[in-house]
A and B are shown apart, each in its own frame.
Chain A
Amino acid sequence: MTLALYVPRATVVHRAPAGLKLLSLSLTGVLVFAVPTLPVAAGALAAVLAVGLFVAELPPELFGRQARTLLWWLVALLALHLLTTDPETGAVAVLRLLALVLAAAVVTATTRVTEMVAVVEWLCAPLRLVGVRPARVGLVIAMALRFLPVLAERADAIREAQAARGGPVRGLRATVTMVVPLLVSVLRMADTVGEALDARGADDVPAQPSWRRRTGGRLS
């Protein structure tokens, strides 16, 4: 499946543990907001670009694309600050936002979805106290991804069937007459999938921390 923002490369950044990268990202966020000065904001942006371009060897277009989606925000932000505060505060706000968004993009581009899912499961571990089973979080993520093409296929099938009967194809009414059978059909499917899961014993997995299952009980 090509559905991911991951950019494969063999670099130190790619190999670094996902948890470490996420921690660095949140620390960067805390830093640039706690110390709102020009050198810190500019330094953070420079550091992010240096790590992203030269250490992680990510394509410059990736940063261009991210910056472009932000362009309007940045322009509006700068204009607002020029009108209400001083240019330096405006520059700090712009550089800070750019640095954070690009830093997050670096983490996403250098970390596989599976690694991120493992971090999510790990983060969910304390939720066992309130009855969440981390392994099921992984199961639900996998199911959601599998449902994406299923939904698209069923939507197409219903749209074609209704067009063949000469029903409306555009407009609000058409949307309602399309979405209702689609929902009913996938809710039916949910019953079947739920039964299939039960039949395979998904209902009585013993609550167990995920590291125990993966490592056979060793903590390392």
Chain B
Amino acid sequence: MATNDESKKVRKLQVRRFKPEENPEKHYLNEEKGLWAWMTTVDHKKIGLMYLGSIVFFFFVAGVLALLLRTELLTPARSFMDADMYNQVFTLHGAIMIFFFLVPSVPAVLGNFILPLQLGAKDVAFPRLNLASYYIYVIGALFTLFAIFTGGVDTGWTFYTPYSSTTSGGNIMAMTFGIFILGFSSILTGINFMVTIHKMRSPGITWNKLPLNLWGLYATSIIQILATPVLAITLLLLTMERMLSIGIFDPAIGGDPVLYQHFFWFYSHPAVYIMIVPGFGIISEVISTFSRKVIFGYWAIALSSLAIAFIGFLVWGHHMFTAGQSSLANMVFSFLTFLVGIPTGIKIFNWLATMYKGSIDLKTPMVYALVFLFLFTIGGFTGIMLGALAVDIHLHDTYYVVAHFHYVMMGGMVMAFLAGLHYWWPKMFGKMYSEFWAKITCAVIFVGFNMTFLPQFVMGAQGMPRRYFNYIDQFQSFHQFSTIGAYIMGVGFVMMAAYMIHSLVKGKPASSNPWGSRALEWQTSSPVPLHNFEHTPVIINGPYDYHKPMSEFQLGIAAKHGHHHAEEEVAVKVSKQEKE
């Protein structure tokens, strides 16, 4: 067994400098060609891109559904769809956005692409499992599409019993089964990432030199592993309820519907942290890079991710304040909910402190990071209000909740995802996008977003219930303002698609390190070579040490028998986890 003194051991390594090759002729995108090679690839980068294609598709579908909803809400009465249709559309918007876009977006797309690069590994620990996760995701998605075309689902994305188990028409079986399958994709990705972070690190990457993006992904993996199985069993029970009427959740047969809500939220509350915590990781990377400054409070940020992951498991009952649970549980959950604010606040202040007196470079990813800080803080504060028991009785199931959720998910997580996408885009494709159009688009989305969701806070506080097809005339001006905002946001995303495609086709070639970052993924060429690094990287500095020269970040083990001679010798700590 690895003993404690071994972990303190220092090892001498013969190293030399490896400058990344600029605009390499061979890279992961062109080394293996053909559709078949793509579909059967075990390369984490290509799998990341396949996920990217899939989630963009689902984001588009669910986004169009959202625009349909907003269009319907232009007038207080029926505009163009009937109430049943409306129920189906908001259910699909929610279910697709959450299960097929938000949950896999950052971990499966950016995480897959970046995680091994930031570790200096050739791939994730289980590459075939990684590919399997992708196909499990696709199969789950097919079930869902099948459900949409064979009757749809109108229960809301939460599938509350007994409505979902008995009354509701539509194809709930196929939908829940699709999401059940999807859960396995999420679990397997989590396992893969955790093992990779533990076992596949390059020499010198100790826990305190791990990029904060990886701390975020690590915390996310923990939640995925601990929470997703409970969703799986819940949906399995729901399926059985519908198929065999087992009655555990059905009051007509003797069961308890609130128990379903406990099980469901035991997953689904931590699941919102599956969505947002990896976003925190991206924001840490971006803010440090574009402030040219070492991150403030490294351990505070790293450990607050783990703290959020843990506390996230203690607060699920705040979704059930009005569902008839005991008042004791209500009070305990309300109290615990406030605790989440602490680690989140710690993060926000550390990011602000990182920017303070930094040399801030307002490139697009940084602009998105600032948008994130602004919108996420609003979303977080309104969450505290909803967590307060007395206030929640008034605000529960109103547009206030809708606005809060969209501020944290869209304003928080999607902005973080866009920050990450713009930040790593040059690394992924070796092309730059138009900085000008990217910033214009960001402004359009920002304006559209706030126009859409700010009025919803007001409406909700005044009593506009969520999920309603009709409303009283009093709310019409708010709804119309909100709908116009949604269209503006839609235009923003079309603009983004346009300049991104332009970048792929005609973009200027990117250098290996366009942002001057010190992190490991930027010390290899853009696009990345098939096996990520031509050498085994050696890490002697932290990933945010901007006060140290770039050359110190490009060390790799000198080949023993090659014609390259070692340039120098460095001492790195031997970590228990890592291998020679």
Do A and B come from the same complex? no
